[in-house]
């Protein structure tokens, strides 16, 4: 389906104020599945996601898409960014930027409002939504361009169980429809529920990576084992 993949990270390095926050990282992301990035706070999860999406400048190395189309990858931030306009207009915004026809926009907006259950809030200010609704809106807005890959940075970090379940349900649906997910989380339960592949970051480097089933069953390194147990790993 997607000519964009694979996404290749070659010797990627990000330094800020003399400190290495990420890298060097070598990784190849293929077209299928859901990759979950785990690791302690400050291990570089957010930076890795932003580098892959192309909104964070690298200090060294290359991030290469087989065929890059920025409209075909989208990003969901930890704190949802809600625009100061109505719910429907929030959803329409990414399509308006691409000069999609009005009819198509209306149809897409209707479709996504239904999927995230916000039809009733269609014309109310998005800034009035609850935390969970805001994040659902942000995810729907990211998906409305039908991206091949969706990057998510701890989207459920500040949400309650109900909202988290709804969002996970939505993410499973879009993943099974073929959208590539790359998500950072610190919720190991969520990682188990969603992951096909796992990337374990430690101190800015990929410490261990592989299929989720294998890694959860038998971590190769003592650090991942400790991290999965819930120990503090630095």
Partner 1 sequence: MIEILDGLKEAFRLVLGFDEELLEISLRSLRVTLSALLIASVIAIPLGTYLAVQRFRYRRIVISMINALMGLPPVVVGLVVYIMLSRSGPFGVLNLLFTPTAMIIAQVIIITPVIASIAHQSMRELWAEYHDLLISLNTTKRQRILTLIYDGRRNLLTAALAGFGRAIGEVGAIMIVGGNIDHVTRVLTTAIALETGKGDFALALGLGFVLIGLAIFVNIAIHTLSRTEREGLW
Contact residues: partner 1, CB under 8 A: 53, 55, 70-71, 74-75, 77, 81, 83-85, 93-94, 97, 125, 127-128
CB of residue 233 vs partner 1: minimum separation in angstroms?
A: 28
- Token pair, residue 154, equals 């701890």
CB of residue 194 vs partner 1: minimum separation in angstroms?
A: 21
**Quick one: 181 or 233, whose CB is closer to partner 1?**
181
Sheet architecture: strand order including 180-184: 73-76, 149-153, 180-184, 34-38, 197-202, 205-211
Place of tokens 């890795």: 48
**Quick one: 75 or 227, whose CB is closer to partner 1?**
75
**Quick one: 75 or 200, whose CB is closer to partner 1?**
75
Q: List, in order, residues 6 or more apart from 205 with CB less than 8 Å away.
A: 23, 24, 25, 44
**Quick one: 100 or 188, whose CB is closer to partner 1?**
100
DSSP string, 92-128: HHHHHHTT--HHHHHHHHHHHHHHTT-GGGTTSBGGG
CB of residue 14 vs partner 1: minimum separation in angstroms?
A: 16
CB of residue 134 vs partner 1: minimum separation in angstroms?
A: 12
DSSP, res 86: B
CB of residue 85 vs partner 1: minimum separation in angstroms?
A: 6
Which has the closest alpha carbon to 117: 132, 107, 105?
Answer: 132
**Quick one: 34 or 49, whose CB is closer to partner 1?**
49
């Amino acid at each position: 389906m997607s000519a964009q993949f694979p996404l290749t990270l070659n010797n990627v390095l990000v330094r800020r104020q003399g400190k290495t926050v990420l890298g060097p990282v070598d990784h190849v992301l293929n077209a299928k599945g859901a990759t979950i990035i785990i690791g302690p706070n400050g291990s570089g999860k957010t930076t890795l996601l932003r580098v892959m999406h192309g909104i964070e400048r690298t200090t060294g190395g290359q991030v290469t898409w087989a065929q890059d189309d920025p409209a075909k990858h989208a990003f969901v931030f930890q704190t949802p960014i809600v625009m100061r306009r109505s719910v429907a207009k929030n959803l329409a915004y990414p399509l308006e930027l691409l000069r999609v026809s009005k009819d198509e926009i209306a149809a897409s907006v209707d479709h996504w409002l239904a999927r995230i259950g916000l039809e009733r809030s269609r014309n109310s200010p998005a800034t009035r939504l609850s935390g969970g609704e805001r994040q659902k809106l942000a995810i729907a807005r990211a998906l409305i361009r039908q991206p091949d890959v969706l990057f998510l940075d701890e989207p459920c970090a500040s949400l309650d169980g109900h909202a988290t379940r709804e969002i996970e349900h939505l993410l499973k649906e879009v993943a099974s429809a073929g959208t590539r997910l790359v998500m950072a989380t610190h919720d190991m339960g969520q990682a188990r529920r969603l992951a096909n592949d796992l990337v374990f970051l430690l101190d800015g480097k990929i410490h261990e990576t592989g299929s989720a089933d294998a890694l959860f069953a038998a971590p190769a390194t003592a650090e991942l084992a400790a991290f999965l147990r819930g120990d503090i790993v630095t």
